[in-house]
Structure 1
Amino acid sequence: MRNAPPDARSDTPLQQHWRAEAVRLREAHWGPLEDQAASQAALRAPAQLGPRILARAAWLAGHSPLQDCLDRWRHGARWALLALWLIAGLAGIGAAGAALNPGQGSVNLATALLGLLGLHALTLLIWLIGCLPGLQPATALSRLWLWLTRKIARGPDAALAAQAFLSLLTRERAWKPAVGLLSHGAWTIAYLGAIPTLVVLLSTRSYSFHWETTLLSPQAFVTFSQWLGSLPQWLGFPTPDPLAVASSMGSAQGASAAIQADWSLWLIGCLVTWGLLPRLLALVICGAWLRQRLRHLSIDPDLPGWLELRERLLPTHQTLGIDRPAPEAGPVQSGAPALRAATRHAAVLAYELGSDLIWPPDGLPDTVQDLGRCDSREDRQRIRAQLDAAHLLLVCDARLTPDRGTITWLDELNHTGPDLRILCLGGPTERRQAWQNALVRQQLRQVPDLTAWLEHIGPVSHD
């Protein structure tokens, strides 16, 4: 059985608007949904189109498999993100080990820097260019994340959930910071794996560092090392002097242990300053950017699918007050009893009772509201508009098999009122077990007779 439909006010704004976008796209692809009850529920929301569209979407998603699909996709996206970041951490550890030239003991500093900072610098530059207006921010990491999510969150509407999520973020201009958050988070975790690995390896093994070149002059490496070490020096990392750089040209076997230690700390400082810190800063910026975008989520009433809801959710006719005293009530001509204006504490409703079953039942107190019989779609619409009771007793004919329409109606009443009880009349029949099974699946409680229900609700009075 599905859970109770979500309350549009209890979820985050992102979840509310994502759900509304999913309903809009579903109706755009496969046609309008049956939403009479959803519209009635939405009309209880504040008299603004946005909140009512969100309330309608919450009701529709909660009474269909769509909400389960959205929840499954959300959980799948989280697991995919964790898997992606775990892979990034392992890649950082592997890159640090590979940069130190395992098994050789001699490390070419230019090759090590290129392996540890080269791809990072290139992807960071691509991200900065993608932040320019009019450019798409799609990255390989974002495509990999969506692919992993699709593999984890399988289901009939998984593609709809992903499409609604991307459509919402793109329309709100929040996709760029979302992609940045994903990418910078992965790179941050990669460096959080690489830097401790370097520290452990450099602390437990002996390495010699040197520069090698065929085309460049020794002065080029002096300038390069001094420039890269300028920022790490602010954090306390040493930078070898020009003589140490010159002594490390070619083979560094003759360099002292102190110079090798300085090169180790210089390499770690370069990773912290030029690798980890820029990614951390970009991660914070993207987080604040995304939060600012999501704080201003709104419903665009001109979008297809929402434009058609304006008249139903914001009807142009309004009650302007009492124009003249109402005429005295005459005898009721309709077969269904007229509801009194005052809200009752409890009510009873007959659902498709046979003509041989007496209604209203004997012994019904005057303080319990009689909603009459419900035998048609028009009766359901009347009851939706007028039902307002703390306790509802639905009286059913156990001689009829509960079909899909009956199950839907029971589910709707169960979510409309806080206390719904079922009374099955018609004597013992072979179909009573079908009713028992249906009520158990819907988690609905039965009462044996009217007297037991009146004892359950206690003393009732006019409101």
Structure 2
Amino acid sequence: MNPVALPASFQDAVITEAVKLVEESGPLADAQAMRQAMSLGTDAPGRIVERARILGQRLGLQAEVARGRAWAPWVLLGLVALIVLAGLTLAGNVLGGGQRQINVVVALASLLGLHLFTLLLWLAGLALPLGTFPASFGWLWLSLTARVAGGRHGQAPVLLRATTRLLARARLLPWALGFVSHAIWTLSFTVVLAALLFALAFRSYTLNWETTILDPAFFVRSVQLLGQAPAWLGFPVPDAQAVLSPLAAASGQRAWALWLTGCIVVYGLLPRLAFALLSAAVWALRRKALQPDLSEPGFQRLLARFETLAPRQIVDADPGAMPHGAPAHLWAGDTTDTALAIGFELPPEQPWPPAGLDIGTAQALRIDGSAGQRRELLDALARMRPRRVRIGCRAASTPDRGTERFLREVMALCGECRLWLLGDPVDAAARLRWQAWLADAGLQELGPIDTTEAVLHGAA
């Protein structure tokens, strides 16, 4: 993970990651976005974020995020309402309806069974790669919010993938989804306990257990074992006589009721509340790690492209100048099978393309060096991503800062680039002057070449 603090907010991180996911299916026309981001004068990582913001506006990502934020509380409120209703229904079933009898074994299994199963799954997911926890309330809330906010044809699926990828990379996915799930379970147990205590306080119930094949001593040991932790909080534990008696006295019924309540508090409510608080604490500690990984190839290519757009202060020979960095290129897998021959700042009488160039295998373009024509050419190169480019320059010309910057910009948008010196013939002194200038500018790999045959052999 790159240590640079990239985005200013979690939304910026999601938008940046989402744009990267969109570009995995094909590059976007981003020449204008690159120049706008470059004009801000921030560092390279900040420019990546700004580029993503500009492209995100065009793709509608920010609008989708805004709709998601608006719908998220309502979706969560709907889930909470369903959980509260389910908790009340479950409490009514445990209380036995109009029969006024509670089977404590069935009550514990009903109230704690699913809770314990999902809690164990979540704990296992902290150490094992269990994906996105599709069975949790947190994942259900996130998915429903994305579906309601974006529908089937919006950008919500991309934003959902970007969010989960960021959370997983920061090791926050189980904690973020777990917080929502634990909070909902905590609310559910609160509702169940409130309904249970209200009914037990104002109505008379008979609590017992039933079995056909189990030894009654098993229930005595189970009640005592399960009652140890609630006993630390002051909840009573029924003695063996109360457990074995099919119809315990009123005091025994009170002990049964408080024992059942204590088990729900200790084994249901408190673990969920504790893990919800722990999840919130982990989120607060790790949220700074919610950043796209700048070491990935896609971001590295963007950093290289921004580097080529940066203004340079070195062109002419300077004995005290620092050495240039290696020129940037597109990776071979990112280019198309296209070859270009570009005439750069050629005099009007210079024919272009030369008569010996086979245009059937190479496209020929010509620019006069003006800012407008340069922008149009660079935009075209960004779309075409050619594999090979040959740049024709007049050998008698003197290279300058503008020439170097143009060469570097073209190199960053193609796979291979060579300089083609034009003259009839090319003067040896001119060729040596260009070679010395290329070496001083750190562009030795450009050549130069000075024959049409070499161009055809290497480019077209």
For the residues of structure 2 that align with 1:109 and 1:220, how far apart are their CA atoms?
14
Using the TM superposition, give the Cα deviation of residue 240 of structure 1 relative to its aligned residue in structure 2, in angstroms: 1.7
Q: Is 1:81–2:79 an aligned residue pair?
A: no
Using the TM superposition, give the Cα deviation of residue 85 of structure 1 relative to its aligned residue in structure 2, in angstroms: 2.6
Residue type of the partner of 1:60? L
Preserved CA contact (<8 Å) 2:166 2:290: no
For the residues of structure 1 that align with 2:373 and 2:80, how far apart are their CA atoms?
55
Match of 2:125 in 1: 130
Using the TM superposition, give the Cα deviation of residue 222 of structure 1 relative to its aligned residue in structure 2, in angstroms: 1.3
Match of 1:13 in 2: 9
Match of 2:23 in 1: 27
Q: Deviation per CA, 1:396-448, whole angstroms, max 9, x where unpaired? A: xxxxxxxxxxxxxxxxxxxxxxxxxxxxxxxxxxxxxxxxxxxxxxxxxxxxx
**1:301 alignment partner, one of 286, 294, 302:** 294
Using the TM superposition, give the Cα deviation of residue 216 of structure 1 relative to its aligned residue in structure 2, in angstroms: 1.9
C-alpha spacing 1:380/1:30, structure 2 compared with 1 (3 Å): closer
Structure 1: runs of 5+ lacking an equivalent: 1-8, 325-375, 382-463
Match of 1:94 in 2: 89
Preserved CA contact (<8 Å) 1:89 1:192: no
Q: Give the TM-score normalised by structure 1.
A: 0.62
Using the TM superposition, give the Cα deviation of residue 313 of structure 1 relative to its aligned residue in structure 2, in angstroms: 2.6
For the residues of structure 1 that align with 2:109 and 2:156, how far apart are their CA atoms?
40
Q: Deviation per CA, 1:103-139, whole angstroms, max 9, x where unpaired? A: 1111111111111111111111121122223333523
**2:214 alignment partner, one of 190, 213, 216:** 216
Using the TM superposition, give the Cα deviation of residue 310 of structure 1 relative to its aligned residue in structure 2, in angstroms: 0.8
C-alpha spacing 1:81/1:305, structure 2 compared with 1 (3 Å): farther
Match of 2:409 in 1: none
Match of 2:42 in 1: 46
For the residues of structure 1 that align with 2:233 and 2:373, how far apart are their CA atoms?
76
Residue type of the partner of 2:120? L
For the residues of structure 2 that align with 1:56 and 1:317, how far apart are their CA atoms?
15
For the residues of structure 1 that align with 2:101 and 2:187, how far apart are their CA atoms?
27
For the residues of structure 2 that align with 1:261 and 1:129, how far apart are their CA atoms?
37
**1:169 alignment partner, one of 167, 170, 175:** 167
Match of 1:261 in 2: 254
Percent of pairs with identical residues: 38
C-alpha spacing 1:227/1:31, structure 2 compared with 1 (3 Å): same
Match of 2:368 in 1: none
Q: Deviation per CA, 1:278-311, whole angstroms, max 9, x where unpaired? A: 1111112222223333222333223243222112
Match of 2:141 in 1: 145
Match of 1:203 in 2: 201
Q: Deviation per CA, 1:29-81, whole angstroms, max 9, x where unpaired? A: 2421334245433552532x322211222233235522101221333344323
Using the TM superposition, give the Cα deviation of residue 229 of structure 1 relative to its aligned residue in structure 2, in angstroms: 1.4
For the residues of structure 2 that align with 1:46 and 1:299, how far apart are their CA atoms?
18
Match of 2:278 in 1: 285
Preserved CA contact (<8 Å) 1:23 1:61: yes
Preserved CA contact (<8 Å) 2:38 2:310: no
For the residues of structure 2 that align with 1:45 and 1:193, how far apart are their CA atoms?
55
Match of 1:190 in 2: 188
TM-align CA RMSD: 3.0
Secondary structure of the equivalent of 1:301? Answer: coil
Residue type of the partner of 1:194? V
Q: Is 1:106–2:116 an aligned residue pair?
A: no
Residue type of the partner of 2:28? P
C-alpha spacing 1:82/1:18, structure 2 compared with 1 (3 Å): same
Residue type of the partner of 1:18? V
For the residues of structure 1 that align with 2:278 and 2:41, how far apart are their CA atoms?
36
For the residues of structure 2 that align with 1:377 and 1:195, how far apart are their CA atoms?
73
Secondary structure of the equivalent of 1:212? Answer: coil
Match of 2:225 in 1: 227
Residue type of the partner of 2:144? L
